[in-house]
Every structure is written in C-alpha cells, then in structure tokens.
Amino acid sequence: MSGTLIKHKLTHTGEKPYCCDQCGKSFSESGRLKVHQRMHTGEKPYGCDQCGKKFGHSQHLKEHLRTHTGEKPFSCDQCERKFTQPQHLKSHMRTHTGEKLFVCDQCEKRFAHSQQLKAHLRIHTGEKPHICDQCEKKFAHSQHLKNHMRTHTGEKPYICGECGKNFARTGTLKVHQKSHAAGDVCTDLPPQQQFQNPQINLNSPK
C-alpha cells in the first residue's frame, strides 16, 4: 500500500499514530509532527530574504512575505477590505456579524477577538506587562505605555483643526475641541486669535 493511500485512510479513521514526546499531542502524519516539534526546539529553518526574520513553518514565511510585497489576497465581501492572511479576514468578519466567541470566565463579558479578551483579563489579574524604560512605570496595555512615553519625548501628534494646538492624547484633543464648539475662548492662543467666531474679535474696528 502506498504512503499516499495510507495517509488518506487515516483521514477516515481519525487515527493519529505520530505522538510528540514533549507534550503528548498526536498527528496523522509524520511531517506534521516534525513541524510541531519546532515549537519545542525553537528551530526556524525558513528565513526571509528581505529582512532575515526566521520561521518554523514554510506557510508562515509565505504569509510574512506579503508584508514586503503588499499582497492582500483575502477580501471581505461586505466592505471590500483586504487582508494578507485568511485568519485576519475571519477575525475581521466578526465586525459585521457581531459574533463574540471569546468569553471572560471572571465576569462573562464577551469579545470578538482573543487579543481583546487577553487585554481585558488584566483588569482581573492586575498584570501590567508593559514597562517604561525611562521611569519603570508599568501598564496593562501597550497603547497606554505608548501614550505615557509622550510625557518623556514631548511628542504631541494630535492637532486641533481649528487653532492648530497639539496634544499628546486624543481624549485631551476631544475635550479641547468642545471649547470651540461651545464658542469658548481658547486661552492658549495669542489674544488676536482667541475667538473662534469671526464676528467677535478683540482687534476688530469699532
């Protein structure tokens, strides 16, 4: 009996004769066991010729190469957004279906993505894995660390479209923008620019 036929028969029987001696996980093919074992050994034989990054599986290298080529072969049929990997498309589709598969076992809050659940769980555990290398302050989320780093760098990437003032955080910008909507004086500007209403100007002729 040929090896190909033997492999095919296993798809019907469900038999998985190849067992990992590290964790006990079983596989129907020796090749799949070999790929799996790289998780334990750390072996990464497939290297990217663009950036040198290495992978344990040829398919992972193939998917990675799309970050260099810009290829996005997986398209959403709802909004035409495109993705480099099928799992990213599958995850994106939940924004249309509203499906939330991942449930917190502490408070039963549901999430569409596993990473959202992982981040949420830190509320319960108190884990703060993201550490500032300037002052060693710790944060539960990477975005919070990124926002904090601006207190050290002075970066203010969010700009008010009305007066041009810069802010380090989107929340602070939104609060500031409400002052324009309410017609309040923007005291951070020179006196001649402080009023948003062109009808009211300190320097207008009497």
Which band of pLDDT confidence, cut at 50, 70 and 90, is reported for residue 30?
confident
CA distance 27 to 47: 25
The CATH code of the domain that includes 60 is 3.30.160.60
Residue 203 lies in a domain: no
Q: Which of 137, 100, 152, 107 shows the shortest CA–CA distance to 125?
A: 107
Q: Please give the residue range of the domain that contains residue 176.
A: 158-193
Read off the pTM: 0.49
CA distance 60 to 52: 14
Query: Residues 135-185: pLDDT tens digits?
Result: 999 999 999 999 999 999 999 999 999 889 999 888 899 998 888 877 665
The number of residues making up the chain comes to 206
Query: Residues 39-85: pLDDT tens digits?
Result: 899 999 999 999 999 999 898 999 999 999 999 999 999 998 999 99
Q: Which of 172, 119, 174 shows the shortest CA–CA distance to 145?
A: 119
CB atoms within 10 A of CB 126: 7
Contact 168, 151 (CB under 8 A): yes
Same domain, 141 and 128: yes
Residue 201 lies in a domain: no
What type of residue sits at position 4?
Answer: T
147 three-state secondary structure:
helix
**Of the ranges 86-100, 127-141, 172-186, which one carries the lowest mean pLDDT score?**
172-186
> Could you give the number of structural domains in the chain?
4
